[in-house]
Amino acid sequence: MINIGDKAPDFTAESTHGVITLSKYKGKNVVLYFYVKDMTPGCTTQSIGMKNSIDAIKALNAEVIGISSDDLEMHKKFLDRYKLNFPLVADNDNRISKAYGVYNEEKNRARRVTFIIDKDGIVRHIIDRVNVNTHAQDVISLLKQLN
């Protein structure tokens, strides 16, 4: 897995907001959260928490990117159903989850892990034991430590 202090692996991928390239976020902090599957209870709770906290996160010079192995069509349904206000990246081939070391071979998808990446593209925090109920608040606390 990627470690704190490592440069975040760059990627370009399709998202619900068009093509995203991580390195284009330079100058902003990025909350890159890998989640298991659209429309499941835990991932829905986690994503709604991020949606409801987006203003506080953006106030800390950060952008949120959700990422899972689901395809773009499923992501769009998820985003529309829950009115999510940040992009969801389709990692269909799991290349991004593998690059970050969060790929679960047994389930053929990413584990639930969040990376807080600073404005220079360096991983500053990793939440490996995500609590879906407090995830957004945990992210905000870590972002405050960066500023």
* Contact (Cβ atoms closer than 8 angstroms) between residue 113 and residue 126: yes
Which residue is catalytic, options 13, 43, 50, 79? 43
Residue 4 has phi, psi (to 5 degrees) of: -60, 135
Asked about 108 being catalytic, the answer comes back as no
Instruction: State how far the Cα of 115 lies from the Cα of 127, in Å rounded to an integer.
Output: 7
Which distant-in-sequence residues (6+ apart) come within 8 Å of 118 by Cβ?
29, 124, 146
Query: What is the residue whose two structure tokens read 């950060």?
Result: 62
Q: Which residues are catalytic?
A: 43
